[in-house]
């Protein structure tokens, strides 16, 4: 299960590292390889956004529970003066 979960992110990370190292260490074919390798994460994000089901506007917002003290519900008491 873990191998299948992290297989694609690991390949994207390795392509990114390869692209960065290729861009920093040489020219010519390494520059072309760097462009291709660094385009892989951008293409993956574009594909994920294009195939995501629905838009964020189609989701109905969930009511948030109130957290904290509600001072209006506390009874007011008078402290006797001394």
Q: How far is CA 58 from CA 42, 48, 54, 55, in A?
A: 25, 18, 7, 5
Note the Cα 45 to chain centre separation in Å: 10
Output the six-digit token pair for 44: 């993956």
pLDDT in tens, 1-50: 667 889 999 999 999 999 999 999 988 999 999 999 999 999 999 999 99
Q: What's phi and psi for 66, nearest 5 deg?
A: -75, 130
Measured distance CA(16)–CA(8) in Å, rounded: 12
Reported confidence tier of residue 56, pLDDT bands at 50, 70, 90: low
């Amino acid at each position: 299960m873990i191998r299948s979960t992290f297989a694609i992110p690991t390949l994207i990370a390795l392509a990114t590292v390869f692209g960065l190292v290729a861009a920093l260490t040489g020219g010519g074919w390494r520059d072309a390889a760097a462009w291709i390798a660094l385009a892989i994460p951008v293409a993956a994000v574009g594909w994920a956004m294009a195939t995501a089901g629905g838009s964020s506007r189609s989701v109905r917002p969930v009511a948030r529970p109130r957290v904290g003290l509600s001072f209006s519900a506390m009874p007011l008491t008078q402290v006797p003066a001394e």
